[in-house]
Amino acid sequence: MWFEEVNEAYSTQTCSCCQSRTGPKGVAGLGIRQWACEVCGAYHHRDINAAINILAVGRGRLAGEIPALSA
């Protein structure tokens, strides 16, 4: 079992399919739970999309400008 700390910044806004940052932004966007990517058309649930992006960072597949914390 391993643990890796990652920065979750932009994980809800970045499309886990095409890595475009087209998701809801700002405080007003927090209430939007589902969204469609304007670039590739993929449909996302905010939390599931964020989890996919965070897993990608942890596995070394950095998704679209999501910063990883360095050890």
pLDDT value of position 5? 79
Q: What is the pLDDT of residue 70?
A: 46
Annotate 18-45 with DSSP letters as a single string: T--B-S--HHHHTT--EEE-TTT--EEE
Q: Considering the domain boundaries, does residue 56 fall inside one?
A: yes
Here the tokens at position 49 are 């999309």
Question: Domains in the chain: how many in total?
Answer: 1
Within a domain: 28? yes
Give the chain's residues under pLDDT 50.
Answer: 70-71
| The pLDDT of residue 61 | 61
Whether residue 3 is contained in a domain is answered as: no
Q: Is residue 51 included in any domain, yes or no?
A: yes
Q: What is the pTM of this model?
A: 0.76
Residue 35 is assigned to a structural domain of this protein: yes
Domain-embedded: residue 40:
yes
- Residue 71: predicted pLDDT: 42
* Res 7: pLDDT: 81
CB 63 within 8 A of CB 51: no
Distance CA 59, CA 56 (A): 5
Give domain status of residue 2, yes or no: no
Range of the domain at 46: 8-71
Return the closest-CA partner of residue 50 out of 3, 29, 2, 39.
29
Structural domain includes residue 13: yes
